[in-house]
Amino acid sequence: MSKGLPKRSENYSEWYNEIVKRADLAENSAVRGCMVIKPYGFAIWEKMQRALDDMFKATGHQNAYFPLFVPRSFLEKEEEHAEGFAKECAVVTHYRLKADGEGGLMVDPNAKLEEELIIRPTSETVIWNAYKNWIQSWRDLPILVNQWANVVRWEMRTRIFLRTAEFLWQEGHTAHATEKEAIAETEQMLDIYADFAENWMALPVIKGMKTPNERFAGAVETYCIEGLMQDGKALQCGTSHFLGQNFAKSFDVKFVNKENQLEYAWATSWGVSTRLMGALIMAHSDDNGLVLPPKLAPIQVVIVPIYKSPEDLAAISEKVEPIVKELKAAGISVKFDDSDNQRSGWKFAEYELRGVPIRLGLGMRDLENGTIEVARRDTLTKESMPIDGVAESVKILLDKIQASVYQRALEFRDTNTFPVDDWDEFCDRVEKGGFVLAHWDGTSETEEQIKEKTKATIRCIPLNAPVEDGKCILTGNASDKRVLFAKAY
């Protein structure tokens, strides 16, 4: 029904861009590669933040804030880290402008910084520089800190939410006394991300480990969650890194253990970003617009009156008022759209486009019959039910929708996940899209060759992969478990 929204089947990326625009989530800004997140889109992000933040706090983490600027010398300290991020850094070289004499401004050449400041692409280095002063004894550990911040990675090509030059995220940075504890932390945070993806975003994800090629620059091990989008491409939805003692060594962060010996601290870092907004859109939405899981919907229920005269509207409003009250009391966000500048049909389409999970329609016929129309966004079905007790039904229905949106995504992923043992089939499968589980001989060379030939990358080595004898899909060399291949965003 939507006017002019492209079909997913015809042009997936245009469909995506249009949804972002038309559902009023975000827009491209005047600044290249950067987005403006609009109030409706930001409201979804805030719900994500809230849920995640609660989970972080529940596991003992605290929020803090570190600077936007990273001195160049900090970034240089961890070699692999430096190399990994060098190509995508914005650099501040001056601290002052001056009039150019033509009514404009120019960089004041006399205000050159002694040392350039990098706009953080991530904060390991500033944070570990600070931790050096925070950590002396084993009693200072663990440090469990998270920050909500913006970061900048100068990307060649950007796509709103999925890859922007500036994005919002959270980055957790923890320090531990033992390797074991740091690994446990890394795994715990991965579990939290998976839990969040599945229970809040209604997006099933595969937990796994990155191959050395795909590993975070400076990490010993990178864990990730991978989701499958409706076009068959994979999207990395969160990462959790075990950093070993790499940053502790680079920044000389030592502590005295119980035996009075000096040891380097063990580190983790983990993050999810506004990219999750992209995942949310691409996982569930349809040709009518956005589909939001109720738990992340800024408006969970919209009530649309259908009326002819102001008297009708007054009568409907009177009936709606207690429903609104009851829903609000139950913690459900509800909007009664009694605006008179659009007609009901327009509103139906508009709220569908915006992904509001439940729409209640109430007209004069309903008032006579004591009924109300309940429409589900996810299935696009509607039914008439008694107006008495509707708040209770809505509460139950929201949970049902949350579950069924997840179920649909899960079925999609399962029917698009293929174990493959034959090279030709592998190429064919990858081309068509979806997750492909295949054997790999464990070498970077093979991984790169496969990428070159098929565009597929190893998304992860799934944590739950069963051990089985097999042969590498490309080389035929021995392999003991399947890894997850896909074309990725």
Partner RNA sequence: CGGGGCGUAGCACAGCCUGGUAGUGCGCACGGUUUGGGACCGUGAGGCCGCAAGUUCGAAUCUUGCCGCCCCGACCA
Question: Residues 142, 298, 363, 434: which binds RNA (CB under 7 A)?
Answer: 363
Stretch that binds RNA, among 52-60, 74-82, 158-166, 427-435 (CB under 7 A): 158-166
108-127 positions binding RNA, by CB under 7 A: none
CB of 141 to RNA, least distance (A): 27
Q: Compose the 81-100 pattern: x for residues touching RNA by CB under 7 A, - for all others.
A: ------xx------------
Q: Is residue 103 near RNA by the rule CB under 7 A?
A: no
Q: Compose the 198-227 pattern: x for residues touching RNA by CB under 7 A, - for all others.
A: ----------------x-x-----------
Count CB neighbours of 415 within 10 A.
9
CA 217 to CA 151: how far, in whole Å?
16
Stretch that binds RNA, among 30-38, 74-82, 95-103, 420-428 (CB under 7 A): 30-38
Binding-site residue total for RNA (CB under 7 A)? 61
Q: Compose the 244-283 pattern: x for residues touching RNA by CB under 7 A, - for all others.
A: -----------------------------xxx--------
Nearer to RNA, 28 or 199 (CB): 28
Nearer to RNA, 252 or 448 (CB): 448
Q: Is residue 240 near RNA by the rule CB under 7 A?
A: no
Nearer to RNA, 9 or 136 (CB): 9
CA 142 to CA 122: how far, in whole Å?
21
Please state the three-class secondary structure of the chain as a single string: CCCCCCCCCCCHHHHHHHHHHHCCCEEECCCCCCEEECHHHHHHHHHHHHHHHHHHHHCCCEECCCCCEEEHHHHHHCHHHHHHHHCCCCEEEECCEEECCCCCEEECHHHEEEEEEEECCCCHHHHHHHHHHHCCEHHHCCEEEEEEEEEECCCCCCECCCECCEEEEEEEEEEECCHHHHHHHHHHHHHHHHHHHHHCCCCCEEEEECCHHHCCCCCCEEEEEEEECCCCCEEEEEEEEEEECHHHHHCCCEEECCCCCEEECEEEEEEEECHHHHHHHHHHCECCECCCCHHHCCCCEEEEEECCCHHHHHHHHHHHHHHHHHHHHCCCCEEECCCCCCCHHHHHHHHHHCCCCEEEEEEHHHHHHCEEEEEECCCCCEEEEECCCHHHHHHHHHHHHHHHHHHHHHHHHHHCEEECCCHHHHHHHHHHCCEEEEECCCCHHHHHHHHHHHCCEEEEEECCCCCCCEECCCCCCEECCEEEEECEC
CB of 155 to RNA, least distance (A): 6
Nearer to RNA, 259 or 452 (CB): 452
Q: Is residue 231 near RNA by the rule CB under 7 A?
A: no
Question: Residues 123, 129, 146, 164: which binds RNA (CB under 7 A)?
Answer: 164
Structure tokens at 302: 């919209």
Q: Compose the 304-343 pattern: x for residues touching RNA by CB under 7 A, - for all others.
A: --xxxx-------------------------------x-x
CB of 170 to RNA, least distance (A): 12
CB of 112 to RNA, least distance (A): 23
Stretch that binds RNA, among 101-109, 134-142, 367-375, 387-395 (CB under 7 A): 367-375
Stretch that binds RNA, among 24-32, 174-182, 386-394, 437-445 (CB under 7 A): 24-32
CA distances from 374 to 202, 386, 387 (A): 22, 10, 10
- 271 contacts 335 by C-beta, under 8 angstroms: no
CB of 303 to RNA, least distance (A): 11
CB of 138 to RNA, least distance (A): 32
Question: Residues 39, 212, 345, 419: which binds RNA (CB under 7 A)?
Answer: 345
Question: Residues 80, 155, 195, 425: which binds RNA (CB under 7 A)?
Answer: 155
Q: Is residue 170 near RNA by the rule CB under 7 A?
A: no
Query: Which residues of the shown chain bind RNA in the complex (CB under 7 A)?
Result: 1-3, 5, 13-14, 17, 28, 31-33, 87-88, 153, 155-159, 162-165, 167, 214, 216, 236, 239, 273-275, 288, 306-309, 341, 343-346, 348-350, 352-353, 359, 361-367, 373, 375, 380, 382, 455, 488-489
